[in-house]
Amino acid sequence: MIKNSAKHMVQGFTLIEVLVAISVMALMSLMVWRGLDGMLRTQSSLQTRADEVRTLQAGLAQWQTDHDQLAELPGTPSWDWDGRVLRLTRRSAEQPATNHINAPGASIRVVAWTWRTDPGRPGGGDWLRWQSDPLSQRQDWQSAWNLAQQWGQTPNDDMRAGQVQIHPLSGWQLFVHRGGSWANPLSSDVVSTNPTQAGAPLAGKIPDPNTPDGVRLVLSLPPGPAGTGTLSMDWVRPTLSGAAS
């Protein structure tokens, strides 16, 4: 009797028990895999969103810096908006502020911003930035100033190679603050036709030679990781006493 009892105790699992155990382990593995896959997808989505937000923040920071470093030189427009491209004359980061472009060691850049249509991009277009090489001669500045306008309207491949793609946009708007109120920068009360001191005026209208007291940037963001809707950002001239309202 003892031998028979011992033989019965060492018997293995039945086929049904083995199949049930395998099925349970397979189900548990599937649940674990789905959980890991969901976590990886969430992490990837959050990373994409973070990258998009950082890119947009970097673009806005560059916009702010370009305006903070505006070079208000005699007879040289520092800010011009023609409805398509915004052109700025700004100090180079490598050089201190100066009041004359031809002064020894002077260095400035021409910077341009625009929104260009592109059916293949979210929202139908991109927010773009272009800048010239450092400039120290007025004739070089004039060439770069005209080149920036051409880049904003009919760029060639060489011009496109020097641009930076900031963020997809559905569109943008600009407003300036002068004389205590916000206005369209193309309206007659904020535009003059004063020539530069270098000789012949630039083509088209030239804005008031004084830097705007403030610039309001309005971006239309298409649906995407960084969000959607309208984003507004105000820049106020650092030397202005009291903020624009």
Confidence class of residue 18 from pLDDT cuts 50, 70 and 90? confident
- pLDDT value, residue 24: 83
User: Which residues are CB-neighbours of 168 under 8 A, at least 6 positions away?
Assistant: 121, 122, 123, 125, 126, 127, 222, 224
Q: How many residues does the chain have?
A: 245
Confidence of residue 116 (pLDDT cuts 50, 70, 90): very high
pTM for this one? 0.71
Write the CB contacts of 212 (distance below 8 Å, at least 6 apart in sequence): 79, 176, 177, 178, 185, 190, 237
Quick one: average pLDDT of 19-40? 78
How far is it, in rounded angstroms, from Cα 235 to Cα 213? Answer: 8
- For the record, the structure tokens of 54 come out as 């950082």
The predicted-structure confidence for 163-215, as pLDDT tens digits, reads as follows 999 999 999 999 999 878 898 888 755 443 333 333 333 333 344 456 789 99
Over the chain, what is the mean pLDDT? 78
Say yes or no to pLDDT of 113 above 90: yes
Instruction: Name the one residue in this structure whose structure tokens are 């850049």.
Output: 109
Residues 6+ apart with CB under 8 A from 137: 101, 102
Sheet containing 171-178, strands listed edge to edge, beginning at the edge strand earlier in sequence: 181-183, 171-178, 214-221, 229-236
Rounded-to-integer distance, Cα 212 and Cα 183, Å: 11
Domain spans, the chain: 50-236
- Alpha carbons within 13 angstroms on the beta-carbon side of residue 29 total 6
In terms of Cα–Cα distance, which of 183, 191, 172 is closest to 244? 183
- Summarised one tens digit per residue, pLDDT across range 221-243 is 998 877 788 999 999 988 765 54
State the first-to-last Cα distance of the chain, in angstroms, to the nearest integer.
Answer: 102
**Dist CA 135 CA 153 (whole Å):** 23
